[in-house]
Amino acid sequence: MTTDHGHPAVRMYIAGEWCHGGSGTTAPIVNPATEEAIGEVPLATPADLDRALGAAEEGFRVWRATPVAERTAILHTAADLIAERAVAIGRVSTLEQGKPLAESTGEARRTAETLRWHADDARRAYGRIIPSEPGTVLTVRRQPIGPVAAFVPWNFPVGGPNRKISSALSAGCSLVIKASEETPATAMELVRCYADAGLPAGVLNLVFGEPAEVSAHLIASPVTRLVAFTGSVPVGKLLAAEAGKVMKSSLMELGGHAPVIVCADADPVQAARKAAQAKFANAGQVCTSPSRFLVHESLVEDFTAEFVRAAEALTVGDGLAEDTKMGPLANERRLKAMERLTADAVARGAKVLTGGERPDRPGYFFAPTVLTDVPEDADLLHEEPFGPLAPILSYGDLDEALATANALPYGLAAYGFTRSAATAERLSDELEAGILSLNHCGGSVHEAPSGGVKDSGYGREGGPEALDAYLVTKRVSHLLVP
Q: Which residues are catalytic, by number?
A: 253, 287
Report the greatest alpha carbon distance in the chain: 84
- List of residues 6+ apart from 432 with CB closer than 8 A: 405, 406, 411, 414, 453, 454
- CB burial of residue 3 (10 Å; 0-12, 13-18, 19+): middle
Decide if 315 contacts 132 (C-beta within 8 A): no
Helix (H) or strand (E) holding 258: strand 258-262
Nearest 10 degrees: Cα torsion 22, 24, 27, 29: 90
Decide if 349 contacts 302 (C-beta within 8 A): no
Buried b (16+ CB within 10 A) or exposed e, 168-199: bbbbbbbbbbbbbbbbbbbbbbbbbbbbebeb
Rounded CA-CA distance 166/150 in Å is: 12
